[in-house]
Structure 1
Amino acid sequence: MASAPAPAPAPAVPGSAPVPALVLKPYINFKVLTNPETAAAMAANIKHRNLPETISVAAVSDLYKTVIERTQQLDKARSERNRVAAEIKSLFGESKEAKRQKLVERGRVLKEEIHTQEAELAVLETQLYDQAVLIPNNTHPTTPIGPESAAQLIRIHGYPLLDHVTLSKQLDLVDFESAAAVTGSRWYYLKNEAALLELALVQFATQRAVKAGFMPVITPDVVRPEVVQACGFQPRDEASQTYWVSTTPPGSSKANASTLSQSDADQQRQQHHYHQHSALCLVATAEISLAGMNLDKTLEESQLPIKMAGFGRAFRAEAGSRGAEVKGLYRVHQFSKVELFVLSKADPGVSDNILEEIRKFQEDLFEELGLCYRVLDMPTEELGASAYKKYDIEAWMPGRNSWGEISSTSNCTDYQSRRLNIRYRTNKIINKPLLTSTDKPSSSNNDSPSSNSVITTEFAHTLNGTAMAIPRIIVALLETYQREDGSVRLPECLWPFMAGVKEIRPKGV
């Protein structure tokens, strides 16, 4: 048993064309879940990440054993049904009619039993996969254990300097008030040099990424929720930060449509359906769109690693944030982002090396921008479900009088690829007995008598990293490069993209 049962097609949003069901079948490694040694390590990993007790390796293991037992019972019943059917076909003549009828009755009973067992097994398999997909990836052995305070300091570059909301007002760079009237709190207009600065940062990061061998991609900002979930996010969770897309306006006749026979509860369920089962949702990071580019694809090993640099908009509800977290541009609902994404061979050594390469690339960007930053090896409670190992990079932000995250990079090993079914063909070495003089060579297309390798498929490892999260970099640049006269000097690496602007001065000066 390798993959989950196919889910029912998602209902179409009223007023829109039907959206074909997207069936994603995760390939769960149940061997490690049922092995006492590895299962214990995975249970400890869940505890180290401070995840809910409802996520249980033991429960999944027990369910898996039950599914195996029920599957064996079902196979036994099917085998007996086939034997009975074959015996019925062999009986001829009136003398054998009584035995034949008895077997026919036995076949009818078996058919009903098999139908019941199949229905029960389907329910058990659904429960099994619903619980199994909640188990997080393993944790790298060097990852610190505990909350954010347990993060290990890797290094500090530069020195802390001195605020961006005040600077942006004095320099006429950001209009929060108009955006609040048009859209709501934590939305913004970038204008004048700030608008140029966003475009310059995107160009700067993208050009450096292309030089480093990354393929540039402009990603869709809207994806199916199944892809979001396959990447390790939970878009339908009550605490989700996801914005949903619907073609049905709130309060419209379609949204409120009901009949006289509908109960209030029915109407509430219908309105809940429009929110929870929208066909699409806005991405919180281009990582999701880039991961989905290779959905259900089998690549060649020679193509790996595949390195992509995607530009897109990120949308986050950011519910529950308060205080300095929501001041100015630091935590907003929409922002531009250049995201790095890599598909690599399923070798922890290979993907670990690529993770370090991504981190080095990010550090080179921030050093070229002249930022004071530090690199953190993030502990278990700060890892998302998909992350095997994660680094955060934080810049010193005088306006917060603290460090603020500007980037991160994660190795997700095969967690995402198993859920998105991203594989690659590879030659796998196997032990084969030596041929004797009486042996005949195999005619298989996959191997030869002179070789001990066969072509098989492996799930690729996926890695992601932020090259440039625009608003927070703008915060760090304004506060780092401010001068005594109120102007802001721009780093030289951005000059080619700034339409001749090398510094930002108060208007009229």
Structure 2
Amino acid sequence: MALTLKLITLLRTVSSRCYSSPVLQHMKIASTNKFVAPVIDFAKQMEELPKLQENVRLRKMELDTDKLKSLWDLLKHMQATKTQLEQRKTEILDRMQDFKKIGKNAEAAEELAKLKLESKMVREDLKTLMTGFWEVEEKIMVSGLMIPNELHTDTPWTEDKVVHEFGRPPTVTDPVSHLDIGRSLGLIDYRDPSCFFLKNEAALFEVSSAFFFADALKKYDFMPFCNPDYARSSIVNGFGISSDQSDSVFTIKENIDKKNFNLHLVGGASIYPFCAFHTRQTVNFSSLPLKYFTVGRQYSPSSLDSKYGLYDTWQRTTNEIFILTANDTNEMMSVFQETLAMVISLYEKLNHHFRVVYLKASALESWESLRASFQMYSCHEGKYVEIGKLSISDSFICQRLLMTYQMSEKDRKRFMKMISGTAVDITKLLACLLEQRSNNADKFAMPDCLKSHWSV
């Protein structure tokens, strides 16, 4: 019992701080709340620790992999001790049954009393062990949710890679901010990142752009979808985003007693509601690939002191894409390339300079394996701005949110692969096009391909 006593003493020193994440299905027996039990292959991650550390380094993330490894080793040690205690508990019960069969005599009674005492000690040790076991396991799960996705082989390590370019960067002699242009033309009423209004041709541009991309997506067999503007913490946490990260998501109202039920304002045209629809759901293989799109609002926090105008607003109008494929890398890449080519063709119809860039590892979100970024040049800022994106997350999110498919009713469940992105961020696109107008233009020039959608 020396090993057990040593471990029990160690467990009593473990911090009693509460580590919890709504994405977890609570491990404790007393818990009645069930959410999502993410599938994270810790054994593989720890076996390939140098690979994980390189991934974290390239992404410039703050993740203590050594601490995670120590917790993992402790958990394995506790698991082994738990097995020993359970085996000893069974052995004691068997011996007690044997002595009961012998009958009542002094020697049997004395031995039975010793076994009862040892059984009580083992049960107490096991109870103490499991309390610590659940705590360490939960710490690992919470830290494990921060583990990033594996980098795709096409993801550049240190420098962005331009994979497509259309036209030449615009040249404007005296670049003016899109806000100044918008005000002078009566197109924009901007107060701060949380409040602005599009007027006249700018409002028409927003509507016509949305319908232009939506009509094209329907022709490419994308199904229109209507999403809620909100997502629960259980979904957001699956992306490695903590519920209290105020710089990543808006929290409607933090419920201290029921953090599992926190709501976040993310917008219907964002990835989270799509994932919420498929979380813990299984689809038939014959339905794949599933290709959705939606048009609507996307919400993300920024500083109220931001000076970037429409490039950094809390609310933006976007066309969002969401694709699920079978667990086949070749199929996933084929669909990714087809979708990428389709979106490129739509931007080319706008007849304005843009480029497509594979972003370097440090520019990716932790759940992204590869991102193709659609960028236009901001004449006033003197740099490229992302106006759309297409990302591969492979099966990373599907494993965390249990998004599966089956070949047949009796077949085992397999995790799907996911492609997602913003076909166009109309708010940012408008800002770029305003800054690219010639200095003497007295009105906003609507791209020809959008004019047929004015009356929609």
TM-score range, shorter chain: 0.7 to 0.9
Aligned to 1:82: 90
Measured against aligned partners, the alpha-carbon deviations of 1:139-174 in whole angstroms (never above 9, x if no partner) come to 11232123xxx2122232112234432332233111
Structure 2 residue identity aligned to 1:71: Q
1:320 to partner: Cα distance: 8.4
Alignment partner for residue 119 of structure 1, among 131, 139, 164? 131
Alignment partner for residue 421 of structure 1, among 390, 402, 413? 402
Alpha carbons 1:407, 1:468 under 8 Å: kept: yes
Structure 2 SS opposite 1:412: strand
Measured against aligned partners, the alpha-carbon deviations of 1:442-473 in whole angstroms (never above 9, x if no partner) come to xxx96xxxxxxxx3222211111111211112
Written as runs of structure 1 = structure 2, the 5 A alignment for 1:72-151 is 72-90=80-98, 91-92=100-101, 93-95=103-105, 96-146=108-158, 150-151=159-160
1:60 to partner: Cα distance: 2.5
Gap change, CA 1:346 and 1:110, over 3 Å in 2: same
Measured against aligned partners, the alpha-carbon deviations of 1:192-244 in whole angstroms (never above 9, x if no partner) come to 2222221111111111111111111121111112211213433413x623222
Distance 2:67 2:232 in 1: 30
Measured against aligned partners, the alpha-carbon deviations of 1:477-507 in whole angstroms (never above 9, x if no partner) come to 334465844233322322232129xxxxxxx
Distance 1:201 1:130 in 2: 41
1:101 to partner: Cα distance: 2.3
Aligned to 1:439: none
Mean alpha-carbon deviation: is it higher for 276-285 or for 40-49? 276-285
1:417 to partner: Cα distance: 1.1
Written as runs of structure 1 = structure 2, the 5 A alignment for 1:352-431 is 352-426=333-407
Alpha carbons 2:320, 2:423 under 8 Å: kept: yes
Alignment partner for residue 51 of structure 1, among 55, 61, 69? 61
Structure 1 length normalisation: TM-score? Answer: 0.76
Matched, 1:23 2:35: yes
Structure 2 residue identity aligned to 1:336: T
Structure 1 SS opposite 2:186: coil
Written as runs of structure 1 = structure 2, the 5 A alignment for 1:309-320 is 309-319=293-303
Alignment partner for residue 169 of structure 2, among 160, 170, 183? 160
Structure 1 residue identity aligned to 2:36: L
Written as runs of structure 1 = structure 2, the 5 A alignment for 1:179-198 is 180=191, 184-198=192-206
Structure 1 residue identity aligned to 2:265: L
Mean alpha-carbon deviation: is it higher for 470-479 or for 272-281? 272-281
Written as runs of structure 1 = structure 2, the 5 A alignment for 1:491-506 is 491-499=447-455
Alpha carbons 1:63, 1:128 under 8 Å: kept: yes
Mean alpha-carbon deviation: is it higher for 286-295 or for 399-408? 399-408
Distance 2:145 2:253 in 1: 27
Gap change, CA 1:70 and 1:278, over 3 Å in 2: closer
Alignment partner for residue 280 of structure 1, among 247, 250, 263? 263
Written as runs of structure 1 = structure 2, the 5 A alignment for 1:464-475 is 464-475=420-431
Alignment partner for residue 241 of structure 1, among 237, 248, 251? 248
Alpha carbons 1:409, 1:466 under 8 Å: kept: yes
Aligned to 1:6: 26
Alpha carbons 1:483, 1:489 under 8 Å: kept: no
**Regions of 4+ moved over 4 Å:** 272-278, 320-323, 480-485
Measured against aligned partners, the alpha-carbon deviations of 1:285-314 in whole angstroms (never above 9, x if no partner) come to 611111111011122222221111022311
Structure 1 residue identity aligned to 2:67: A
Aligned to 1:218: 226
1:104 to partner: Cα distance: 1.8
Alignment partner for residue 284 of structure 2, among 300, 303, 306? 300
Structure 2 residue identity aligned to 1:59: K
Structure 1 residue identity aligned to 2:126: I
Gap change, CA 1:485 and 1:66, over 3 Å in 2: closer
Structure 2 SS opposite 1:23: coil
Distance 1:370 1:170 in 2: 25
Structure 2 residue identity aligned to 1:39: L
Aligned to 2:315: 334
Aligned to 2:13: none
The percent identity for this pair of structures is 20
Distance 1:321 1:386 in 2: 29
Distance 2:27 2:314 in 1: 32
Q: Which runs of 5+ in 2 are unaligned?
A: 1-22
1:78 to partner: Cα distance: 1.3
Distance 1:483 1:274 in 2: 57
Structure 1 residue identity aligned to 2:206: E
Mean alpha-carbon deviation: is it higher for 330-339 or for 347-356? 347-356
Structure 1 residue identity aligned to 2:157: I
Q: Cα RMSD between the aligned structures?
A: 2.7
Aligned to 2:183: 169
Alpha carbons 1:219, 1:311 under 8 Å: kept: no
Mean alpha-carbon deviation: is it higher for 20-29 or for 123-132? 20-29
Measured against aligned partners, the alpha-carbon deviations of 1:316-366 in whole angstroms (never above 9, x if no partner) come to 22138744xx1x322211111111011112233322222222222221121
Structure 1 SS opposite 2:420: strand
Measured against aligned partners, the alpha-carbon deviations of 1:58-103 in whole angstroms (never above 9, x if no partner) come to 4323322321221121122112212322332341321233322222
Structure 2 SS opposite 1:374: strand
1:246 to partner: Cα distance: 2.9
Aligned to 1:267: none
Distance 1:71 1:241 in 2: 36
Gap change, CA 1:80 and 1:278, over 3 Å in 2: closer
Structure 1 residue identity aligned to 2:49: A
Structure 2 SS opposite 1:141: coil
Alpha carbons 1:236, 1:276 under 8 Å: kept: no
Alpha carbons 2:193, 2:306 under 8 Å: kept: no
Pairs aligned (count): 421
Structure 1 residue identity aligned to 2:182: S
Structure 2 SS opposite 1:488: coil
Aligned to 1:66: 74
Distance 2:366 2:127 in 1: 37
